[in-house]
């Protein structure tokens, strides 16, 4: 079976890729909240950070951290724009080379397999770009919330904890958007292999998911974050 120049194996590889790419974050989030099988200590650290921030008069270090996040996200966003532009240029060149004759200027040709495969990489890269820019935007919101934080002496324990939870939610959203952009880079590498072979794409997609899950759950950093959270909790 062939659909838009894609074989059945191509379509199977595409379905697996899209399912893993779009389903990774929801499944990981569900596993973290329901079964505690995924390292979820980052949220605890962010709540602790915001709670301590509300007890400090000088918040220069906290603003510096947020500024660093914005700077890194801006770098990746700029790089992604260049990547998207280059890929669109390649697609335009391919389309121009395969353009119909002038007498058939109203004809719309079926896209070639290589065009569809490169278009997938463009879509993933464009998604990464919007993730990074949204992370930057939310980091601005976090900086505003930090700057508007009331003095420590005006906060009782309950009010301080409630504010810390809400501010941590914003910071967590920044991290989630940033992580989404980084994940898209990993999946873009898997998408590129589709140009070579759908079987290679299937193997690359499975490998990317396995690598990210390993780093999230069994890397030394993940284990250390969990241990730190336990120590803090007493």
Specify which residues 6 forms β-bridges with: 3
pLDDT given at position 162: 93
Q: What is the mean pLDDT of residues 213-222?
A: 85
Whether 67 has a pLDDT exceeding 70, the answer reads yes
Tens of pLDDT, residue by residue over 172-183, are 999 999 999 999
| pLDDT of 38 over the 70 cut | no
With H, G, I as helix, E, B as strand and everything else as coil, classify residue 72. helix
Whole-number Å distance between alpha carbons of 175 and 193: 28
pLDDT at site 1: 46
pTM for the model stands at 0.86
Spatial separation of the C-alpha atoms in residues 110 and 214, rounded to whole Å: 41
The model's pLDDT over 94-150, given as tens digits with 9 standing for 90+, comes to 765 555 555 455 455 677 888 899 999 999 999 999 999 999 999 999 999 998 888
Average per-residue pLDDT for the chain: 86
Write out pLDDT tens, residues 73-99.
999 999 999 999 999 988 888 765 555
Quickly tell me which residue has 């301080």 as its tokens.
160
**147 vs 92: CA distance, rounded Å:** 47
Residue with tokens 């070579």: 196
- Sequence spans of domains, the chain: 2-233
* Contacting residues for 78 by C-beta, under 8 A, at least 6 apart: none
Q: Is the pLDDT of residue 166 over 90?
A: yes
Query: Mean of the pLDDT values across residues 156-177?
Result: 93
3-state secondary structure of 6: strand
SS3 85: helix
């Amino acid at each position: 079976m062939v659909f838009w120049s894609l074989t059945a194996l191509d379509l199977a590889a595409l379905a697996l890729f899209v399912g893993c790419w779009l389903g990774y974050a929801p499944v990981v989030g569900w596993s973290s909240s329901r079964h505690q099988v995924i390292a979820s200590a980052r949220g605890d650290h962010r709540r602790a950070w915001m709670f301590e921030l509300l007890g400090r008069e000088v918040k220069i270090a906290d603003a510096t951290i947020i500024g660093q996040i914005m700077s890194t996200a801006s770098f990746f966003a700029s790089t992604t724009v260049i990547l998207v532009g280059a890929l669109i240029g390649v697609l335009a060149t391919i389309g121009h080379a395969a353009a119909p004759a002038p007498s058939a200027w109203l004809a719309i040709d079926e896209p070639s397999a290589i065009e569809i495969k490169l278009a997938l990489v463009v879509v993933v890269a464009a998604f990464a770009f919007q993730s990074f820019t949204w992370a930057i935007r939310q980091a601005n919101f976090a900086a505003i919330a930090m700057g508007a934080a009331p003095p420590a002496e005006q906060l009782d324990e309950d009010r301080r904890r409630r504010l810390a939870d809400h501010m941590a939610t914003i910071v967590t959203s920044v991290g989630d958007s940033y992580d989404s952009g980084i994940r898209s880079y990993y999946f873009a590498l898997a998408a590129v292999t589709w140009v070579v072979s759908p079987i290679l794409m299937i193997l690359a997609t499975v490998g990317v998911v396995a690598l990210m899950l390993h780093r999230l759950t069994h890397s030394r950093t993940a284990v250390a974050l969990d241990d730190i959270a336990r120590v803090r909790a007493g």
